[in-house]
Amino acid sequence: MRTRSEIISRLVNPGIVAVIRTEKPEQLPELCEALVAGGVIALEITFTVPNALEAIRDASRRFADRALVGAGTVLNADMCRAAIGAGAEFVVSPISKLEIIGAAHAFDKPVMIGAYTPTEAQTAHEAGADFIKIFPADKLGPSYIKALRAPLPHLKIVPTGGVDLNTAADFLKAGCAALGVGGSLLTAEILKTGNWAELTRLAKAFVEIASRR
């Protein structure tokens, strides 16, 4: 079993966290296989996926030796504990729900807590969050991350929303620890057509950008 510090190390290397949202959980085996083939080893299965706990459990069984399977859209401590019980190795919340931190750490798992403002980000950090998920980051952009880290350089920031092949490098240059990538990686077209070769191609492109840090 990986320790919290080992999981953190893998999350930031290469530093691409795939935010997985699909209405068809039966796609997950091939979808995750395509991501791993492209070098994306952090697989965040969100609670918006139907039967999310079973999806996390199955993905953990299939990919634990090659990837980190995590849970996203975790909104409270009970959801956190259930996700970890199903095999999640890391937990991500879009909101500043601090009770999730203690629930994750009780099982020696890292947690990303959602924040939008400097106060929310620092509060989550002081409560023990391993990463701060700046969300949604699409309107804020890399310049906001750079400005945020100027007085708060200790924050390990993972922006989500607005991260694509055009902005990824700038987010990393601004000092982000990793990037949460959703719709620009798992595009609607890929999910509709099941073009897993294209998903692998996109995954490789994101990993290539992250490797230049």
% of the chain exceeding 90 in pLDDT = 99
Pairing outcome for strands 68-72 and 131-134: unpaired
Please give the positions annotated as active site: 44, 133
Span 183-209, pLDDT tens digits? 999 999 999 999 999 999 999 999 999
Q: Which of 17, 79, 25 is nearest to 44 (CA)?
A: 17
Q: Does the global pTM surpass 0.85?
A: yes
| DSSP track, 130-170 | SEEEE-S-TTTHHHHHHHHHTT-TT--EEEBSS--TTTHHH
Beta-carbon contacts of residue 137 (< 8 Å; ≥ 6 apart): 144, 145, 159, 160, 161, 162, 163, 171
User: CA-CA distance, 126 to 187, in Å (whole number)?
Assistant: 35
Span 27-79, pLDDT tens digits? 999 999 999 999 999 999 999 999 999 999 999 999 999 999 999 999 999 99
> All domains of the chain, ordered by start, with CATH?
4-206 (3.20.20.70)
Please report which confidence band the pLDDT of residue 135 belongs to, taking 50, 70 and 90 as the band edges. very high
| DSSP track, 16-80 | EEEEE--S-GGGHHHHHHHHHHTT--EEEEETTSTTHHHHHHHHHHHHTTTSEEEEES--SHHHH
Span 168-187, pLDDT tens digits? 999 999 999 999 999 999 99
Residue 1 scores a pLDDT above 90? no
* pLDDT score, position 96: 97
Under DSSP, the state recorded for 112 is E
Please report which confidence band the pLDDT of residue 89 belongs to, taking 50, 70 and 90 as the band edges. very high
* pLDDT score, position 119: 98
* pLDDT score, position 75: 98
Residue 213 scores a pLDDT above 90? no
Question: Measured between alpha carbons, how far apart are the two ends of the chain, in Å?
Answer: 29
**Spatial contact of 171 and 145, defined as CB atoms under 8 Å apart:** yes
